[in-house]
Structure 1
Amino acid sequence: MLCSGAVATRSRSWTRSQRAMCKPRPGSDAAAPRPAAAPSSRRSASSSSSAKRRLAAAGDSSATAFTSSYSGAGPSGAGTASGQRRGATSSSSTSSASSGRASLAAARASLPDPPVLYPFQELAAATNSFLAKRAGGDAYWRCSLRGRDAALFQLPRRPGAAVDAAALARVGRYHHTSLARLLGACPAGAHLYLAYELPPGAATLAACLRSPRNPSFTALRTWVSRVQVAADVAQGLEYVHHHAGAVHGRVSPSAVVVSDPGLRARLTHFGAAEFAAPADTREAGESPYAAPGSSEPSREADVYAFGVLLLELLSGEEPARYRFDRGTKEFQRVSVLETAAAAAAGGSVRNWVDRRLGDSFPVAAAERLVEVALRCASAENRPDMTWVAGKVSKVYLESRAWEQKVQVPTEFSVSVAPR
């Protein structure tokens, strides 16, 4: 170290003496030499710039720290840059964690609440001991259960059916816009009570189509509203069959609830086939919605029931009614399947459609829907609900386009009387 210092001292002194000898005299025309940078400084700048280029080309994440400390920032500058990077990383991690928690909370909020087993006393208190007036064509009680507006249905209980929390969890884990949300159930002797969360002003499809007090009234006054209901029910059944891996078993207008705004339909009684007995029987021990020869719930039986329901939507008539025959002087049972098949064969679908719609419907669309319904109710080659939902949805889109085309403009008014 001492030897190196001596050499450095001699080198500095020699440099000063050489500068003194080469110093120009006053008045001389020789230009003064430009002071040159020290060799070590040039090497340092060159190595610094080359290191920057290598790190930038390699994409090294430490290039920023290296540049800031080497360009004179000093240890404190390097520490500040490193601290800023750690702060930015910590902030990014915090924001990612918070966004992940928000996404998880949103996903949990979108899931349906698990159904509960209500005690019988709670249901009795909510319905005034089941003496309150029923809604939806006497199909359910409108009540409040634990702060929620609910519709309480009473169904015959399947003998030996175990209604427990595990069975309800299997039914309530699915949620779809065309399915009503199941709040809970209560087995009470020979009956089963199912509670659904429904919006205010809801009514069953049976009550929307037919009013005992006013037969000429219907809540589904337009063609598009009826096709909308048919599309909602078809999509709900398609979801039950091919996404939930289950069957419905009780498709009927009493199991379809229509609510405002938009007259959208929701399918109730999903999963009731596991707990409830078959639907109420009618003539000759058969329900008009039950497929001939089928005693247990199945997908084919659901497709058959939807075909009958679709014809009921189009005609506004009950699926089976009695008509007095003047020739035989007796009452004969008439099915909507028979009248629809006769209208399709005779080309008189326009006269067969519900007269309360007037002539405000596309006849070609009505004929296609009748064809779909008859195929659903056929004995052989019955389609699945994916095909049916696609056909009905296509007719719905065409009907919306037809409605936009034929509606009366609202930019002007017409007066038929003197002002």
Structure 2
Amino acid sequence: MLLVNQIRENYIGVLEGLQKRNFPNAETVLKQALELDDLRKSTQTQRDQIQAESNSISKQIGMLMKEGKKEEAEQAKNRTAEIKVQIKELEEQNSTAEEELKALLYTIPNVPHSSVPAGKSAEDNEVVLEHGTIPELHADKQPHWELIKKYDIIDFDLGVKITGAGFPVYKGKGARLQRALINFFLDEALAAGFTEVQPPILVNEDSGYGTGQLPDKEGQMYFATADNLYLIPTAEVPITNLYRDVILSEEDLPIRNVGYTPCFRREAGSWGAHVRGLNRLHQFDKVEIVQITHPDKSYEALESMSAYVQSLLQKLELPYRVLRLCGGDMGFTSALTYDMEVFSAAQERWLEVSSVSNFETYQTNRLKLRFKGSDKKTQLAHSLNGSALALPRIVAAILENNQTPDGIKMPKVLQPYLGFDKI
């Protein structure tokens, strides 16, 4: 959530940033936010002024009674009664203005970093780098949805029987590949200095609002109505909310956490040939990295996280590219996002496998996540997160890119986890 002072002090910069995002009616919304803030301040000032008058009159009443000036004392009492009514009205106006301002700020996305390119869709994203060689496959190459049937390692039909579309069943070496990837990603994160946490996979509304899934993406989350809880779309939500309403010490920073969870996304309206098989699921496994940093260090941390995710792809021997997302393709809460895509040699296209984002103070303002510096003053920290990594498209790329007429070779780095070198 944007800070009102951020809008007031850098109005043109915020406006230009929202326009880069193609945010509709940006100028109208920002002016409305400032007007609500002015109203909130005005009613608070009026309330304080007449409260001071009431306090002064209350002191005079006792003196007037002692001096026998009963009529003047009664007039003073009547005035205090009038003031109480006025105070109640002003408090109600102030509360309404605060709630309307908060609700409006929830609808405004984060302001993009200056390096974010303008654009409306994925076609306008900027390619930062490409790494690796695209493999040349044999003539009878197959996409992963055919390979998983051939080797009986993932069963979509059983998932439909048990739950519905988008909930696959992993079997035999397919299940072992899942477990191997999870353990590999966690071990790599621990070696890189992250602390492992295992959070709940159901969260309350406060957690959803804290990281920005609510009110923006409630339609994409599964909702347990009886308990008013949401299944998490990513471990970012519970891990970042560990620090909601917390004041850290500057010495605590940076905080670097990693967690594995299943993730659940309704993915409403996003089905088609381009999301066949493992390319898009309702339930999938993911290892997530989260950082809480000093504001001066957050972009250094973002570059470090990008390099770390790239190191995982290099060890898996997958060709990949890094994209800087344009304003029109960024997530609602992000100030700058890098996407990592691996190349699927069988599908002959790029598949997104990770997003690494800096949210600056957008989440921490909602979370009231602050730290106290050496000057004893408190300020908002910065939050970052990244997929390291999401499994489905990694599995798809491993299966497709490593297929041979005799089977599917497994990356060397996974073989100690798997106990086999080929499917």
Which TM-score band applies after superposition, normalised by the shorter structure?
under 0.3
Larger Rg: 1
- The TM-score with structure 1 as length reference comes to 0.25
- The TM-score with structure 2 as length reference comes to 0.24
Q: Greater strand percent: which structure? A: 2
Between the two structures, name the one with larger relative contact order (CA 8 Å, sep ≥ 6): 2
